[in-house]
Structure 1
């Protein structure tokens, strides 16, 4: 069987750019220049015959088609990651940097996230912060706050603490909202 799909490098560039909402951050992740990532995404768009991003003065915004494509590409990358983990379990996926404001800390299990072996595979570091702007500067991937806050293009997920007594809000870029790491963190927070 012959598989027909665009360049894998183009797909990786698109997925990383969509997750970070930034050519620069995607380039840093892949160890190439932002111009190289931008060109890979442009070639992908040309091969598909659609625009995946709106390029605005204030940054990138996924088009409707780009958003739909991202969910499918992310799913496919999850399958590839699972297949790779099955034959090479020592190969770790990307770990995330998570910020936590002070209020939620009191409602998390002692030593969170180190209390969970499963989370150790997904979280690189945690630090106390309540600044959503650190997501935009790529200093944090995700942030757990005790309040809602509206920020453009961020995914917001309400998390109810273990005993249902407190609700917190988990923020991340839309491209990370459905990745395996984020799903595992939110599932653990909701237990």
Structure 2
């Protein structure tokens, strides 16, 4: 009804994400790989969630995990909620006005003056769908000053969508780099074009 404030009583979202991933995989290790965190971090987040809820969600067995009755009852609803949030974010990202993806590239990837990344960074030679700057400071990504960053090697990058790419040789002598972006932008056309421009999945 109009004029009524609604307050949602929610446990920490990181704990819910860890539970949902671990529940699907029945593995803290696989959940950690999906979320780009350590298995220990997943275990701690789930333990904290269990303390808040006051019930166990998993049984820790010698050969792996099993869901408790509470966990089995909770998992489908939590999975559906994350699917709906992801779909909503994707729908918004696809309707954004066409503009350049603001990509920060690690200086280590632009150090070769003859490499294509160095030529594109801070110049007008970039394709119209990406604006490349020579910086990989995550603070710029978190503040919204950048849409994505490109860094050598794998993550982890908690809370972000990260893809390990085999870079095209023309771009950099480094074999692989992580392309990191906010999850809501992971399917927008500017990001997808930029990913194809830089390399192939690692």
Aligned to 1:65: 80
Gaps of 5+ in 1: 1-38, 43-50, 82-91
Aligned to 1:28: none
| CA RMSD between the two structures | 3.8
CA distance in 2, matches of 1:181, 1:77: 14
2:153 to 142, 147, 155: 147
2:109 to 85, 104, 107: 104
The alpha-carbon distance between structure 1 residues 161 and 68, as it changes in their structure 2 partners (threshold 3 A), is: same
Structure 1 contact 108–189 (Cα < 8 Å) conserved: no
Structure 2 contact 168–198 (Cα < 8 Å) conserved: yes
**What pairs up with 1:22-171 in 2 under 5 angstroms?**
56=12, 64-73=79-88, 76=91, 92-105=97-110, 106=112, 107-108=115-116, 111-112=119-120, 114-115=124-125, 119-120=127-128, 122-123=129-130, 125-163=131-169, 166-171=175-180
Q: CA deviation at 1:73?
A: 4.1
Using the size of structure 1 for normalisation, the TM-score is 0.51
Give 1 or 2 for the bigger CA radius of gyration: 2
1:155-186 deviation line (CA, Å, top 9, x unaligned): 11112121396111111111112221111100
Using the size of structure 2 for normalisation, the TM-score is 0.48
The alpha-carbon distance between structure 1 residues 126 and 70, as it changes in their structure 2 partners (threshold 3 A), is: same
CA distance in 2, matches of 1:55, 1:176: 25
The alpha-carbon distance between structure 1 residues 57 and 177, as it changes in their structure 2 partners (threshold 3 A), is: closer
